[in-house]
């Protein structure tokens, strides 16, 4: 996963300022993540689980389409320093991938850890099979600007 330095730092800052599981969506252009929309989740969110505000985030994704920003995935926190996806995380990722248009071949599902670190996972669709694997993170330094929407 390629990500601008500003966006990487913004994700860590926004996600770790909370005492419960949180997350958001990422997007960008040319396979570089440059956009992040923070989401505290719904009233069901807790210290153990993040439940995205799907309606709000879908509106943001639609707004991105108007300015040629591609949706690249969903971020969430693991407050217990767990670097691996849970079984529930993997089921959720598969569900999302199978509901995406067939031209969406991959999405990223990074986890934000309390030690100011992001661990990335990539879900890849091959026909009706979804493969989820760890993904290296390459931070892009330079003039890429990150836009935040609260």
pLDDT tens for each residue of 30-50:
999 999 999 988 888 888 888
Give 57: exposed, middle or buried? Use CB within 10 Å, 0-12, 13-18, 19+.
Answer: middle
In this predicted structure, which of 27-36, 92-101, 105-114, 141-150 has the lowest mean pLDDT? 141-150
Query: What would the pLDDT profile of 54-63 be if each residue is shown by its tens digit?
Result: 999 999 999 9
Query: Which pTM does this prediction carry?
Result: 0.91
Share of the chain above pLDDT 70, in %: 95
Q: How far apart are CA 150 and CA 143, in angstroms?
A: 22
* Angstrom distance (rounded) from CA 29 to CA 32: 6
Report d(CA 8, CA 4) in Å as an integer: 6
β-sheet bridge partners, residue 70: 28
- Inside any domain, residue 93: yes
d(CA 27, CA 1) in angstroms, rounded, equals 11
Residue 43 three-state SS: coil
Average pLDDT over residues 77-88: 90
**Is the model's pLDDT at 95 over the cut of 50?**
yes
Let me know if residue 70 belongs to a domain.
yes
At residue 142, the pLDDT reads 80
Residue 15 in contact with residue 148, Cβ under 8 Å? Answer: no
The span from the CA of 100 to the CA of 125, in Å, is 10
At residue 91, the 3 state secondary structure works out as helix
Q: Which residues form the domain of 71?
A: 2-140
Of the candidates 141, 147, 12, 138, the residue with the CA atom closest to the CA atom of residue 75: 12
Question: Number of folded domains in the chain?
Answer: 1
* pLDDT, tens only, 66-78: 999 999 999 999 9
Q: Is residue 149 one of the residues assigned to a domain?
A: no
CATH of the domain at 73: 3.40.140.10
């Amino acid at each position: 996963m390629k990500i601008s330095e500003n966006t990487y730092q913004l994700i860590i800052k926004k996600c770790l300022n909370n005492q419960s599981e949180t997350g958001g969506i990422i997007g960008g252009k040319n396979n570089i993540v440059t956009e992040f929309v923070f989401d505290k989740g719904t009233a069901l969110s807790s210290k153990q689980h993040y439940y995205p505000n799907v309606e709000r985030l879908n509106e943001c994704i639609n707004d991105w389409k108007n300015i040629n920003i591609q949706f690249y995935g969903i971020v969430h926190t693991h407050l217990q320093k767990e670097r691996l996806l849970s079984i529930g995380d993997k089921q959720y990722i598969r569900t999302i991938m199978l509901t995406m248009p067939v031209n969406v071949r991959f999405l990223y599902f990074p986890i934000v850890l309390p030690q100011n670190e992001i661990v990335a996972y990539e879900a890849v669709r091959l026909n009706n099979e979804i493969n989820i694997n760890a993904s290296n993170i390459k931070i892009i330094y330079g003039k890429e600007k990150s836009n935040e929407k609260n």
